[in-house]
Amino acid sequence: MIKIEGRKIIITRGDCRPFTITLTGEDAPPDGTKVLFTVKKTSGYKEPVIEKVVTVADGKVVIHLMNADTKELPFGLYEWDIRFPDLYGESEPYTPMDPAQFEIARVIGDV
């Protein structure tokens, strides 16, 4: 199961599901731009628990979460965001959003 509530993402541990993030407004990068999707225990942690590089197409990015991405993570709340490479000629990445919640939901039976 994957469920999106606003910007909160909820996925059952071990499930494989894609979801789409639509990028709009003046901060939206052009098609073909690489975007970094990151999940951490909290924004203060250095090491991500999930990290994916995806490409913008038609103003959207599709994140494919696989079983290996979540099957070993403890149940509970994490934080996620996306970052773009240098869009404004400053040689720095750009983060267009505050971190949002990412939840690993409980499962009753593991297979």
The Cα 43–Cα 35 span in angstroms is 18
Whose structure tokens read 């869009």? 87
Which pLDDT does position 49 carry in this prediction? 97
Q: Which domains does the chain have, with CATH numbers?
A: 2-105 (2.60.40.1930)
Query: What pLDDT score was predicted for residue 89?
Result: 65
As a whole number, the mean pLDDT across the chain is 90
Asked if residues 38 and 54 have their Cβ atoms less than 8 Å apart, the reply is no
Q: Averaged over 9-38, what is the pLDDT?
A: 90
- Decide if pLDDT at 87 tops 70: no
Alpha-carbon 2 to chain mean position: 13
State the pLDDT at residue 48.
96
